[in-house]
Amino acid sequence: MSATPDNRMTAAEIRRRVRANQALHAKTQELAASEVLSKRRAAQEAAAAKEVAELAAREAVAAVLRLFDNDVTVIAGLLDVPADELEREAKPVTAARAKEVVAELRDRAERPRARRSPAPRPSSAPAPEPVPGEASASPADGLTGAA
């Protein structure tokens, strides 16, 4: 195969392709570095959230032990968790912190529950049809149950 004049690339075309290849390579490196940073940040946030959750779990175990007069066997049976694991989780929590958690739980239990009003019915829903044989009341006539 011989090279024909139409298959030849000019020096300018070669330089253009080299620059395009270098730009693509630089963009790929930039995206890879950006991805590493975002993944590391997400991993750090997840680790921090895990630590917070583990601390809350240990405090909850200490509080429940305190509320059940440290009867580990009863709690282990209720939660289906080995007793030694419960004791190990509760051990790092101080008695003062366990008292605080119990006090927070009591405060929360004493607060009246917020009542949610029922969600309004969508107006596009069809109205229920009256059952034949039963009288319906109309707010306009003021009669209830009159046939």
Dig out the tokens for 29 from the structure: 């490196």
pLDDT tens track, the chain, 147 positions: 455 556 788 999 999 999 999 999 999 999 999 999 999 999 999 999 999 999 999 999 999 999 999 899 999 999 999 999 999 999 889 989 999 999 999 998 998 877 777 777 666 655 666 666 655 555 555 555 554
61 in Cβ contact with 90 (< 8 Å): yes
Helix (H) or strand (E) holding 130: none
| pLDDT score at 147 | 46
User: pTM of the predicted model, to two decimals?
Assistant: 0.56
CB neighbour list of residue 45: distance below 8 Å, 6 or more residues apart: none
Dig out the tokens for 137 from the structure: 């009341």
